[in-house]
Amino acid sequence: MLDLQEKYKKEAMPAIRERLGCKNIMSCPKIIKVVVNTGVGRIAKESGMIDDIRKDLSSITGQWPVLVAAKKSISTFKIRKGMPAGLKVTLHGKKMYDFLYRLISIAFPRSRDFRGIERKNIDQNGNLNIGIKEHIIFPEAMSDDIRKVFGLEVNIVTSAKDKEEAEVLFESLGFPFKNK
């Protein structure tokens, strides 16, 4: 069974070159990085919750998340400058492809009422943004000591020039999109 990186090199890249008419391998669009983040605004005040979320996020991504602090105070949301606002992980290389493989082949099929990714989630620069409501769709997060279910945002940054190139890239890698 091929992992996603091998699939890109052996199957997807020739298909992308044929569909887009790329003359050079280096001009084909590719995935540069994946950023996974979650907000911890309301639950930051509860003791130990940030550590629990950090452990779950690190088990899902395979990398220790960074705590992101609020940049400015917002009285409406009871946020002060410097308070914990979220956690983020930036993935590159092997960990990135492993995470994407688990997202496509394991997490999406386990997601409740999943019908496919909307094509409107791809922006004009060719990046895909996916919101996940419950982190427990990943098998790594399943344990008996889960105290809080949280959502994730997955941003997949590509080298595609526009939305059409990105669609070709994601379809050739096997991302499950809704029909047009």
**Which range marks the domain in which residue 76 is found?**
30-173
Percentages (nearest 5) of helix, strand, coil residues in the chain: 45, 20, 35
Average pLDDT of every residue of the chain? 85
Tell me if 8 is assigned to some domain: no
84-101 residue pLDDT tens = 888 999 999 889 999 998
1-54 residue pLDDT tens = 468 888 888 888 888 888 888 888 888 898 999 999 998 877 766 767 788 888
Tell me if 9 is assigned to some domain: no
Is residue 126 within 8 Å of residue 160, measured between CB atoms? Answer: yes
Is residue 90 within 8 Å of residue 154, measured between CB atoms? Answer: no
- The total of structural domains in the chain comes to 1
pTM for this entry: 0.85
Tell me if 180 is assigned to some domain: no
Tell me if 134 is assigned to some domain: yes
Is residue 169 within 8 Å of residue 128, measured between CB atoms? Answer: no
Tell me if 44 is assigned to some domain: yes
Tell me if 128 is assigned to some domain: yes
State the Rg of the chain over Cα: 18
Is residue 117 within 8 Å of residue 175, measured between CB atoms? Answer: yes
Tell me if 20 is assigned to some domain: no
CATH number at residue 56: 3.30.1440.10
Provide the b/e sequence for 53-90 (b: ≥16 CB within 10 Å).
bbebbeebbebebeeeebeeeeeeeebeeeebbbbbbb
Tell me if 3 is assigned to some domain: no
